[in-house]
Amino acid sequence: MPQPIRLLHYGLGPIGVRIARLTASRPNLSSIGAVDIDPAKIGQDLGAVTELGQPLGVLVQPDLKTALKVQKPDIVLHATGSHLPSVLPQFLELAEAGLPVVSTCEELSYPWFHHADEARSIDGAARRRGIAILSTGINPGFMMDTLAITLSGVCPAVSAVRVRRVVDLSVRRQQLQQKVGVKLTSAEFAARKAEGKLGHIGLPESVAMIAAGLGWPLERVEQTLEAVIAPVRLDSALGPVAAGQVQGQHQIAHGFVGGRERITLELKMALQAPDAGDFVELDGPEPVSSAVHGVQGDIATAAIIVNAIPHVLTAAPGLRTMLDMPPLRSVGI
Amino acid sequence: MPQPIRLLHYGLGPIGVRIARLTASRPNLSSIGAVDIDPAKIGQDLGAVTELGQPLGVLVQPDLKTALKVQKPDIVLHATGSHLPSVLPQFLELAEAGLPVVSTCEELSYPWFHHADEARSIDGAARRRGIAILSTGINPGFMMDTLAITLSGVCPAVSAVRVRRVVDLSVRRQQLQQKVGVKLTSAEFAARKAEGKLGHIGLPESVAMIAAGLGWPLERVEQTLEAVIAPVRLDSALGPVAAGQVQGQHQIAHGFVGGRERITLELKMALQAPDAGDFVELDGPEPVSSAVHGVQGDIATAAIIVNAIPHVLTAAPGLRTMLDMPPLRSVGI
């Protein structure tokens, strides 16, 4: 058996923990480092932080520099932040250290339209050091962009792309329900929305990836975000939601090409959503549609990050996107 | 605008003609050569052979050597045969001529299990000449293999793969109905099957590609093929099909790993099939399923071949499979 791939876990929030737990189940992967800024986690064994039931002999360090003094990994699994400008220094530090990266950073999944400067600087650093950096995940990263692009491969021509993802929040973690605004009043939802504190991050990146993949010169992306109001009393991980309170959100991103909306991504996340699933429609002379069921965001995001590892290690140096990657399959069990 | 990519069409049967017609609609592609062995096509203008309604200024040549004397293409679109051993010399000649190839040859789509010797010799020749050769299509090539592998990327683990493709033969070309055995009696079907003249080619290759993609050591593939008998009189492109005659075929490939069936590919092609579509089920701790509608084999095969062109031009030299390729998207209209 070849030497296992040595991993450093950078960020141990809910997704980072899921990633670390999944890697522990793969015999070809070995966790040799971990970084988190949470004082409650620093100094703890990674096995304790991830509730694996046994120590991994890897202590969580407060920063990358300290972690690298212990051992250099083959690749870094990065799950700290969604906004590219705020985590840019982390990517530059990783690239300068010559470390390949798989990240969950939503705005890095396809940054060439909305954050072209940051993309260029990460790409330049990665190329100089000969390593690849990829951000992926379920949304953005797969269900609302890569899958539609992949399906377009069987179409002689595509005139418009519509993707709808419906998430049943009832089966998702409490933090996600909270993030979405469950149990708020309409007024509270409106206020938080006005502060920019609500809404899923990454739809514009998915729009930009689709446009780039299909060779469409994207002009702009517009987004709307509305509360979904509970018509009756509902249960939630945050306690009962009264009729009239917020039970979820409904977000739509519209991508315009040549003055016309050609990309529409609709994300609905609500308690007890009856029609959960992922739906792609490709318009054109030969329309194609798909419906996928069973993809639970957190679990599947951890999976695609872990499944990406061998492919990022062999990818061409630079900032890669899912447009560059072969199928990131689930290998090995 | 950059120079268009210069194409040579090798094989102008029903699929080759569809490919040539689609390339004529893409401004970034230019047909500069054509080869076919059919005396009725040799010497004809490609525009006439493909019924484009206007000449393309490209005459069909009887062989590659003659065609290359006229002009050297950037890439060859190859659609001559399904069986790798019989078309192997064509691939070797193309590779030796330093020409990248996209092919429809079913047994080349993933030849490393069933035709490893042929695969090695093509791969070697392609690497020596620094060009990439890819065979793809709808089935094999996408709906029953690549799509399942791609979807596995969101799974933490996959224990078994089941794919079902149901084709409504009523909307497909006469040649396909004939190939499938429509209008035969049960006895005629059995006799032709015994001669090895019935059955779709490529299911074993799809099984092998899935196994390779998921890192499963495939032991063997078993296939069954049965006639679908018309319960009532049906219309077909070959004339009326009497009740009791063959209206289609039902073919299943079983892939065994560790003594257990882990891959099951089921292809049903029948007149008026009510449940036409493409269905993937991935078993495991987090099962995922997909249903795709609208993919018509001939049209979509031409599409994916044409959509592959820019990616084969930039692929690493050698015999490539869809496991190596980024999403082959529909670019540009």
**Using N-to-C axis directions, what is the helix angle for A14-24 and A297-314, rounded to 10°?**
60
pTM of the model: 0.97
Q: Do A156 and B291 touch (CB under 8 A)?
A: no
Q: Residue A320 above 80 pLDDT?
A: yes
Please answer whether residues A67 and A277 qualify as being in contact, where contact means their C-beta atoms are separated by less than 8 angstroms.
no
Q: Residue A271 above 70 pLDDT?
A: yes
Residue spans of chain B under pLDDT 50: none
Supply the pLDDT for residue A173: 87
Mean pLDDT value across residues A123-139: 98
Return d(Cα A157, Cα B333) in angstroms, integer: 7
How many residues does this entry show for chain A? 333
ipTM of the complex: 0.97
Scored b (16 or more CB within 10 A) or e, A198-218 reads bbbbbbbbbbbbbbbbbebeb
Supply the pLDDT for residue A1: 62
A160 interface with B at CB cutoff 8 Å: no
- Per residue in A53-75, pLDDT (tens digit) is 999 999 999 999 999 998 999 99
- Per residue in A75-95, pLDDT (tens digit) is 999 999 999 999 999 999 999
Strand order in the sheet with B75-78: B60-61, B29-35, B5-10, B75-78, B101-103, B132-135, B318-320
Supply the pLDDT for residue B298: 93
Q: Residue A332 above 80 pLDDT?
A: no
Return d(Cα A205, Cα B16) in angstroms, integer: 37
Name the region of A57 (left: φ>0; alpha: ψ -120 to 50; beta: rest): left
A218-229 and A246-257 as β-strands: parallel, antiparallel, unpaired?
antiparallel
Supply the pLDDT for residue B99: 98
Nearest CA in chain B to A297: B154
Give me the residues of A, 86-145, that contact B with CB < 8 A.
138, 142-143
Q: At the topology level of CATH, where does A5-137+300-324 sit?
A: Rossmann fold (3.40.50)
For chain B, domain boundaries: 5-137+300-324, 146-293
Supply the pLDDT for residue A31: 98
At residue A292, the 3 state secondary structure works out as: strand
Task: Return the residue in B142, B329, B331, B333 with the most chain A beta carbons within 10 A, the one to mutate for interface testing.
Answer: B329
Task: Return the residue in A22, A104, A142, A330 with the most chain B beta carbons within 10 A, the one to mutate for interface testing.
Answer: A330
In the CATH scheme, what architecture does the domain B146-293 have? Answer: 2-Layer Sandwich (3.30)
At residue B282, the 3 state secondary structure works out as: strand
Supply the pLDDT for residue B2: 78
B315 interface with A at CB cutoff 8 Å: no
Q: A150 to chain B: which residues are within 8 Å by CB?
A: 147, 150, 327-329
- Per residue in A5-62, pLDDT (tens digit) is 999 999 999 999 999 999 999 999 999 999 999 999 999 999 999 999 999 999 999 9
Mean pLDDT value across residues A196-212: 97
Question: Running DSSP on this structure, what letter comes out for residue B45?
Answer: B
Q: Percentage of chain A with pLDDT > 70?
A: 99
Q: Residue A333 above 70 pLDDT?
A: no
Supply the pLDDT for residue B333: 55
Task: Return the residue in B142, B154, B298 with the most chain A beta carbons within 10 A, the one to mutate for interface testing.
Answer: B154
Supply the pLDDT for residue B201: 96
